[in-house]
Structure 1
Amino acid sequence: MENRTVLLFGCGKVGIRLGEALIEAGHRVFAVRRNPEVLPRSFTGIALDYRRPFTAELPSVDSMVVTLTPDASERTSPDLVNPLRRLAAALPTRPRRVILVSSTRVFDGNPGLGTLTEDDVPSPASPRAHALLASESEARRLFDAIVIRPAGIYGPGRDHLIRQVARGIPMDRQRRTNRIHETDLVRALHELLRAPEPPSTLHAADDHPAPRGEVADHIARLLQVPAPPALPAGPSGHLISGERLASLLGTLRYPDYRSGYDDIIAAGDPGRWRDLER
């Protein structure tokens, strides 16, 4: 990887893990977030709120990873295009490689039949999905960006489904679900930064899409609790192909939900998930 300086524009949990891996590999990492004081000391933090006109000076870097995370006030219909335009205007030079982190949510209007690949055209239905797809188009126009679309991200600290199962909360058990462990998402971003010929679009999803009820049953066995009851609902959701990700990375660290949730639950106290949020 010849890109020695990287700007993480929007740096949450995944960005911090990616930045740490990059620094370990010898790169300099600049990280933009609203509260940079939570960043590791090895990062060069920049305080900036992408929802407002930019006041901070941005550095000239070799590559950039953009993650726009709306806050609670704009989760339904966020503006993700104007921040990209402000970013393009504020950069001294355009980085040689830019990655935009989007979401498989862009497919929320596609019929739930068959398996969706990177070659399928999204048909967004919700305002959030429309905003995500618009940001993809703008990032490609402004930066010739690579777009990565993670499915449901899970991992240590991302345990909503475990808590739901532990507390016996009814759920839509027939919904088709896809996921990616945080560890493999970080690996995918790192590889996209250094690959000589990266794909223009990548779905970050593991090798085992599954109905939510199947995943919940596995978690319930690990926690030794009854499986959560079903809400009255028909099949919904989509199946996302992870073949291109597997081609990029080879074997995933967590190729299916079993290996991922086994590790998360083995590392914690099973009783703690029942106590959270009470």
Structure 2
Amino acid sequence: MSEHPSLLIAGCGDIGCRLGERLVAAGWRVHGLRRNVAALPAAVLPIEGDLAALDVPPQWPDAAPDYVVYAAAASQHDEAGYRAAYVDGVRHLLGWLRQRNQRPRRLLFVSSTGVYAQHDGEWVDERSPTQPTGYTGRIMLEAERLALASGHPTSVVRMAGLYGPGSRWLIEQARQGYRASREPPLYANRIHRDDAASLLAALLQAGAAGQPLDDCYLGVDDTPAPLHEVIDWLRERLRVGDVPDQPLSRRAGSKRCSNARALALGWRPAYPSYREGYAAMLD
């Protein structure tokens, strides 16, 4: 491998762009694949392509990338859209690598903690059972297994709820007076978008340095918290006054995800809890 590794990010959206900029700054050569390459950072080499296509995109690099990150997001939020974005997209990416006879050193597949169905506030880690009840978790788990069975060394990174600039949904819910159930507490897990990118970068850089990687990591901050605590904190910071309380509807599930394995790798989140992350957004 060259002194400065190469990376291809398939589905180079918000997290992919943040990751690409980090690694370009560290001397890596980074390609980003997406339909609209005009949205890529200037330092990321563009590959105009669609993960729904069977044929290799024309701009695909001749030299095999050292690392590949699959970071696509569903553009259509129904069962068909999820299957197209994750299962079909991964299958097409693997097909492109076979067509070009390219074998990256490692594939990272960006997944979701939605593959877990625990709902009583249990602690969850990479060894916990995955028994999703909804189609989103089932499809994501199917895509994980496809990547892990690809023949390429693979790590799955299960990200919790992403937030940060451009993701103000919970802030607006708090501003409008919504509250969450206190009993039983609904534990929520999150990771700031910058920390999601820094975790992927840490995994890639550790692999490039010869450090063995596990096949699964959880991408979460240090502090899973009851949703009512987060909303109460936001309401206080926003000085929400005489706004009628409204119940916050939320999908089923209550679990506390551990990032101990990622921390053992040496990674540390810049926003270890919702307080630091949302404070940066509000300030």
Do the two structures share a fold, i.e. TM-score over 0.5?
A: yes
Residues of 2 paired with 1:14 and 1:194: CA distance?
A: 17
2:175 to 146, 151, 166: 166
User: Given the alignment, which residue of 209, 212, 236 partners 2:224?
Assistant: 209
Query: Aligned pair count?
Result: 265
Q: Given that residues 180 and 231 in structure 2 are in contact (C-alpha distance below 8 angstroms), is that contact kept between their aligned partners in structure 1?
A: no
Which segment drifts farther, 19-28 or 46-55?
46-55
Q: Is the 8 A contact 2:179 2:232 kept in 1?
A: no
- Report the Cα distance in structure 1 between the residues aligned to 2:110 and 2:251, rounded to whole angstroms: 30
Within-5 A mapping of 1:100-249: 100-107=109-116, 109-142=117-150, 143-172=152-181, 174-195=185-206, 196-226=211-241, 228-231=245-248, 236-249=253-266
Q: Which amino acid aligns with 2:12?
A: C
Q: Tell whether the 8 Å contact from 1:7 to 1:31 is kept in structure 2 after alignment.
A: yes
1:98 alignment partner, one of 107, 112, 115:
107
One-letter code aligned to 2:265: L
Query: What CA distance in whole angstroms lies between the structure 1 residues aligned with 2:252 and 2:78?
Result: 29
Mean Cα displacement is larger for which, 226-235 or 90-99? 226-235
Distance 1:88 1:225 in 2: 50
SS at match of 2:265: helix
Contact 1:77 1:131 in 2 (8 A): no
Looking at structure 2, the residues matched to 200 and 13 of structure 1 have their Cα atoms a distance apart, in angstroms, of 24
Conserved? CA contact 1:180–1:206, under 8 Å: yes
Partner of 2:11: 10
Q: Mind listing any 5+ residue stretches in structure 1 that lack a counterpart? A: 267-278
CA contact (8 A) 2:74 2:81 kept: no
Write the distance in 1 (CA, Å) between the matches of 2:166 and 2:250: 29
How many percent of aligned residue pairs carry the same amino acid?
Answer: 32
Of 174-183 and 126-135, more deviation after overlay is shown by 174-183
Structure 2 residues not aligned, in runs of 5+: none
Q: What is the Cα deviation at residue 197 of structure 1?
A: 1.5
Q: What CA distance in whole angstroms lies between the structure 1 residues aligned with 2:249 and 2:110?
A: 34
Change (3 A) 1:40 1:166: same
Contact (CA 8 Å) 1:184, 1:252: kept in 2 or not? Answer: yes
135-144 or 172-181, larger mean C-alpha shift:
172-181
111-120 vs 3-12, which moves further: 111-120
- Stretch of structure 1 that moved more, 90-99 or 162-171: 162-171
Question: Could you tell me which amino acid in structure 2 is paired with residue 45 of structure 1?
Answer: P
The alpha-carbon distance between structure 1 residues 2 and 105, as it changes in their structure 2 partners (threshold 3 A), is: farther
Alignment of 1:258-273 (within 5 A): 258-266=275-283
CA distance in 1, matches of 2:205, 2:280: 29
In structure 1, the residue corresponding to 2:52 is in which secondary structure? coil
Moved more, 1-10 or 210-219: 1-10
CA contact (8 A) 2:4 2:27 kept: no
**CA distance in 2: counterparts of 1:19 and 1:238, whole angstroms:** 31
Between 188-197 and 98-107, the greater mean CA deviation after superposition = 188-197
**232 and 120 in structure 1: CA distance in 2 versus 1, 3 angstrom threshold:** closer
Distance 1:222 1:152, change over 3 A: same
TM superposition shift of 1:34: 1.3
More displaced, 56-65 or 1-10? 1-10
Alignment correspondent of 1:275: none
Sort the Cα spacing of 1:139 and 1:250 in 2 relative to 1 into closer, same or farther, 3 A: closer
8 Å contact kept, 1:148–1:202: yes
In structure 2, give the amino acid aligned to 1:249. G
Question: How far apart are the structure 1 equivalents of 2:36 and 2:179?
Answer: 36
Distance between the aligned counterparts of 2:80 and 2:232, measured in 1?
31
